[in-house]
Structure 1
Amino acid sequence: MKKVLGIILGGGAGTRLYPLTKLRAKPAVPLAGKYRLIDIPVSNCINSEIYKIYVLTQFNSASLNRHIARAYTFSGFTEGFVEVLAAQQTQYSTNWFQGTADAVRQYLWLMEEWNVDEYLILSGDHLYRMDYRQFVERHRETGADVTLSVIPIEQRRASDFGLMKIDSAGRVIDFSEKPKGDALLNMQVDTTVLGLNPEEAKQKPYIASMGIYVFKRDVLIKLLKEAPEQTDFGKEILPACAKEYNIQAYLFNDYWEDIGTIEAFYDANLSLTKQPYPAFSFYEEEAPIYTRARYLPPTKMMDCQVTESIVGDGCILKNCRVHHSVLGVRSIIQAGSIVEDALLMGADFYDPHIEERQTVCADGEIENVPLGIGANTIIRRAIIDKNARIGCDVRIINKDRVEEADRESEGFYIRSGIVVVLKNAVISDGTVI
């Protein structure tokens, strides 16, 4: 694996995850109470003994830079690094990244400096655990120019992915990015070729790309230099080279979720609370997920009822009820409050004298609302971003069952029926959403 360079694509503006991406890059969005999305591919690389990792991004990269600098520092006796490469102007290019392939192309001069045989290209907004060593070994064994990691998928979700057809040897013979209508039906295949039983193959008649690729070094350099007008791997480069190059499919037969939308992000987080066997577990000793060490105190719970939930470090919960929820680091919930089916991202800091502070309702004065969730507040089916100040007797329950709403001036959005309270928002006492 010393001959592999990891390249993580940080994604574009993250419009589908807005407003969580209003003040941060998509890979920096908090996950599972204490992690960030970028920790997933970086940890997979480290567990696979791939220690040279670039992260390409161009939107709101300050918090991502800070997180990576604090979390991933390798020994000075190795060549290991995790480094953010943000879009920049040069004498050769004055444009921002125009797509996934263009992002790699603009930093190709830097990638070429490393004496590696393969470039491993990953996405920064997926939740999964994968040993890339097996992926790279399969690429080498088949003598492939490019290897794509794939999953079988049902028709309902198929049009959201790049789809392909493969022959009996696993070679990709046709590739189509997010096809619709007749083009979608034309991409149906017999997925028993991947090893699925006939019943599974009937339910999942499509082969979808996970957006994870291994390229031979020389092949990627040639493809990017010969066709500078092609800016995206899935839409242009892979479909154009499917016939000329040996592109192999590698079946990934485990949990994988693209969490690029608010609803998918919400569902993926809350699914972690499932018992006894969540679809994805952070409790794998042999392949841990790494993140920044914060050195926070343990969580304190005083006369609380907490069921089917994940609670991060440094929280203070007072006489409240929490069910089927994820509470991020430094979450504060005051007496009499109820939190159900919710994702609280916590906070970056504590208010002064947080332990002895008793809940005092602010009498409508917004500047007096303390950090966290105030007394006698009810929160259901919501995402509360970091550093939010929610007052007493608040109801965040989507009482009118609204599916979509943009109420940024009032501190929240609604996406797919999920209320999303903005980072640093202040919701005054008695508010009903």
Structure 2
Amino acid sequence: MDSTCTTLSGHLGKVSEGIGRNRRSGFWGESTKGSVSTRFLSAQSCKSSRGNRNLRNSKHGTRIAHAVLTSDINEDSMAFQGVPNFETPKVDPKSVASIILGGGAGTRLFPLTSRRAKPAVPIGGCYRLIDIPMSNCINSGIRKIFILTQFNSFSLNRHLSRTYSFGNGMTFGDGFVEVLAATQTPGEAGKKWFQGTADAVRQFIWVFEDAKNKNVEHILILSGDHLYRMDYMDFVQRHVDTNADITVSCVPMDDSRASDYGLMKIDKTGRIVQFAEKPKGSNLKAMHVDTTLLGLSPQEAEKNPYIASMGVYVFRTETLLQLLRWNCSSCNDFGSEIIPSAVKEHNVQAYLFNDYWEDIGTIKSFFDANLALTEQPPKFEFYDPKTPFFTSPRFLPPTKVEKCKIVDAIISHGCFLRECSVQHSIVGVRSRLESGVEFQDTMMMGADYYQTETEIASLLAEGKVPIGVGENTKIRNCIIDKNAKIGRNVIIANTDGVQEADRAKEGFYIRSGITVTLKNATIKDGTVI
């Protein structure tokens, strides 16, 4: 599709403030308000304070003011001490490659991952999770993309080949999308599958060493299960401006979720001085920081007293290869091993991403993030003409709606809705809802194919259940996976409040109180769950 060729270059010297939709970006991620002041230093003073690391030759002749956070200037009287007379390069997207980690088993998203890789899980009615980092790369102008896969990768590989071919076999400049599937090679070490995120990259290190010879100076490491919109070139530019070896994208985090993430402490220049992966108990409390350092207001900082890693990194190519091959040759995971080790010997910087970001790692977080898309106004939306999210072109007809009540809902294309009620729900592609159906707080992923009216009539005559939802069925607080066949007069409400249950033979599971029907499952007429 032509729209996949859209390129948005990174913005140098971006300045804004705030949080969420009203964010204000500043020195090393986003905001610089609060207790931290900003001072512009001369080239000589930068050289004396940081050595020669801040003085680099420009490839593009871009002249900017270099800002350094300091604590010795009154907040109300910010001092500008001259514009430095030195140059720093604006990063060329062609010098950046991205590696998307898509090989995890996705056990926390089971049963949605029972037959598909985690990045292939549908989201938002017509997208898949892999579309998030892929679209962010394309919108950032990054055209060198690797995807590492391992578990249940068939549908993921199919989606990638249909959506991101970059020219259907023809050369797209020097860009590419390469799927690197887990494989075995001769030798004892080659018989092992990926042991973690870092090991997955290490097992293909020969590919990335070759990429180094193709003028790739920086490598992005991205997760395949996050929901966010980000210009990666702003991230990489910050990485270059601070002369970092590694930069970690981070978000402010509250007490309730902090233990689920890697947490860090930073100094006033944004350098990470301590990193702990998913700490618990007293170790968690030890990572408590004053996040006004990030530019948060005192009220915001009180609610979010931790700095959490997004699991999104940018490495100097030579640093990444050195760590994987020599310094951390036995380390298998980026968050728990590589980053904590690198903090001790390398310049590891933090980049504040002060906008919407959600880790879609569990059934509850996945369910909540999807239903949040139906809110007005939503915290996140896929609709943005400047930075669109791409997905497979299906060429489906518009949805047909007959005498329905639809409130705060997303109805994808190619659906048939007849005299039904849909509230605070998502209805995926090719869905069929018959008369009397009621949806409340439900996500229906849709279907991979249509059944004709003749086929549906024949199945009903035989007492079988066609794909879709039958007459007078009431469903709430539920995820309906692809191609599910739900009969007439069914009630799915979990009125007993069961939190966990495995009913695979009956076609469903319950996770965190949310009913999840299996892909291709059949729920017979009159069933009550």
Q: Report if TM-score (shorter chain) is over 0.5.
A: yes
Pick aligned residue for 2:113 from 21, 30, 38: 21
Could you say if the C-alpha distance between residues 174 and 391 of structure 1 is closer, same or farther in structure 2, counting changes exceeding 3 Å? same
- Secondary structure of the residue aligned to 2:112 is coil
* 1:382 paired to 2:458: no
Instruction: Determine the C-alpha separation between the residues in 1 that align with 2:402 and 2:252.
Output: 47
Structure-1 residue corresponding to 2:181: 86
Structure-2 residue corresponding to 1:113: 210
- Secondary structure of the residue aligned to 1:370 is coil
1:67-94 per-residue CA deviation (whole Å, 9 max, x = no partner) reads: 0000012132412222221111012521
* Identity among equivalent pairs (%): 60
Task: Report matched runs for 1:413-432 at 5 Å.
Answer: 413-432=509-528
Structure-2 residue corresponding to 1:251: 352
Assess if the C-alpha contact under 8 Å between 2:439 and 2:475 holds in 1: yes
* 1:407 paired to 2:508: no
RMSD: 1.4
Pick aligned residue for 1:189 from 289, 292, 295: 289
1:161-207 per-residue CA deviation (whole Å, 9 max, x = no partner) reads: 00000001100000000000111111111111111111111111110
Pick aligned residue for 2:147 from 55, 60, 63: 55
Instruction: Determine the C-alpha separation between the residues in 1 that align with 2:178 and 2:390.
Output: 16
Task: Report matched runs for 1:390-405 at 5 Å.
Answer: 390-405=486-501
* 1:74 paired to 2:166: yes
Assess if the C-alpha contact under 8 Å between 1:359 and 1:375 holds in 2: no
Pick aligned residue for 1:224 from 324, 334, 340: 324
* 1:269 paired to 2:370: yes
Q: CA deviation at 1:232?
A: 0.4
- The amino acid that maps onto 1:236 is E
Instruction: Determine the C-alpha separation between the residues in 1 that align with 2:523 and 2:325.
Output: 52
Structure-2 residue corresponding to 1:8: 100
Assess if the C-alpha contact under 8 Å between 1:309 and 1:325 holds in 2: yes
- Secondary structure of the residue aligned to 1:419 is strand
Assess if the C-alpha contact under 8 Å between 1:361 and 1:392 holds in 2: no
Task: Report matched runs for 1:262-301 at 5 Å.
Answer: 262-275=363-376, 277-301=377-401
Structure-2 residue corresponding to 1:34: 126
Instruction: Determine the C-alpha separation between the residues in 1 that align with 2:359 and 2:391.
Output: 20
Structure-1 residue corresponding to 2:46: none
Instruction: Determine the C-alpha separation between the residues in 2 that align with 1:359 and 1:177.
Output: 56
Q: CA deviation at 1:117?
A: 0.1
* 1:144 paired to 2:144: no
Q: CA deviation at 1:399?
A: 2.3
Q: CA deviation at 1:17?
A: 0.2
- The amino acid that maps onto 2:174 is E
Assess if the C-alpha contact under 8 Å between 1:362 and 1:429 holds in 2: no
Q: Which runs of 5 or more residues in structure 1 are unaligned?
A: none
Could you say if the C-alpha distance between residues 204 and 11 of structure 1 is closer, same or farther in structure 2, counting changes exceeding 3 Å? farther
TM-score between the two structures when normalised by the length of structure 1: 0.97
Instruction: Determine the C-alpha separation between the residues in 2 that align with 1:38 and 1:359.
Output: 37
Structure-2 residue corresponding to 1:241: 342
Assess if the C-alpha contact under 8 Å between 2:460 and 2:466 holds in 1: no
- The amino acid that maps onto 2:291 is T
- The amino acid that maps onto 1:318 is R
Assess if the C-alpha contact under 8 Å between 1:390 and 1:427 holds in 2: yes
Assess if the C-alpha contact under 8 Å between 1:346 and 1:385 holds in 2: yes
1:209-258 per-residue CA deviation (whole Å, 9 max, x = no partner) reads: 00000000010000001122110011111111212100000000100000
Structure-1 residue corresponding to 2:447: 347
- The amino acid that maps onto 1:3 is S
Assess if the C-alpha contact under 8 Å between 2:456 and 2:466 holds in 1: no
Q: Which runs of 5 or more residues in structure 2 are unaligned?
A: 1-92
Assess if the C-alpha contact under 8 Å between 1:330 and 1:347 holds in 2: yes
1:380-419 per-residue CA deviation (whole Å, 9 max, x = no partner) reads: 0000000000000000111221010010011000001100
- Greater Cα radius of gyration, structure 1 or 2: 2
Instruction: Determine the C-alpha separation between the residues in 2 that align with 1:425 and 1:23.
Output: 13
Could you say if the C-alpha distance between residues 80 and 353 of structure 1 is closer, same or farther in structure 2, counting changes exceeding 3 Å? farther
Structure-2 residue corresponding to 1:199: 299
Structure-1 residue corresponding to 2:309: 209
The structure 1 segments of at least 4 consecutive aligned residues displaced by more than 6 Å after TM superposition are none
Instruction: Determine the C-alpha separation between the residues in 2 that align with 1:200 and 1:77.
Output: 45
- The amino acid that maps onto 1:138 is R
Instruction: Determine the C-alpha separation between the residues in 1 that align with 2:172 and 2:267.
Output: 45
Assess if the C-alpha contact under 8 Å between 1:162 and 1:208 holds in 2: yes
- Secondary structure of the residue aligned to 1:96 is coil
Could you say if the C-alpha distance between residues 362 and 411 of structure 1 is closer, same or farther in structure 2, counting changes exceeding 3 Å? farther
Q: CA deviation at 1:361?
A: 5.4
Assess if the C-alpha contact under 8 Å between 2:420 and 2:435 holds in 1: yes
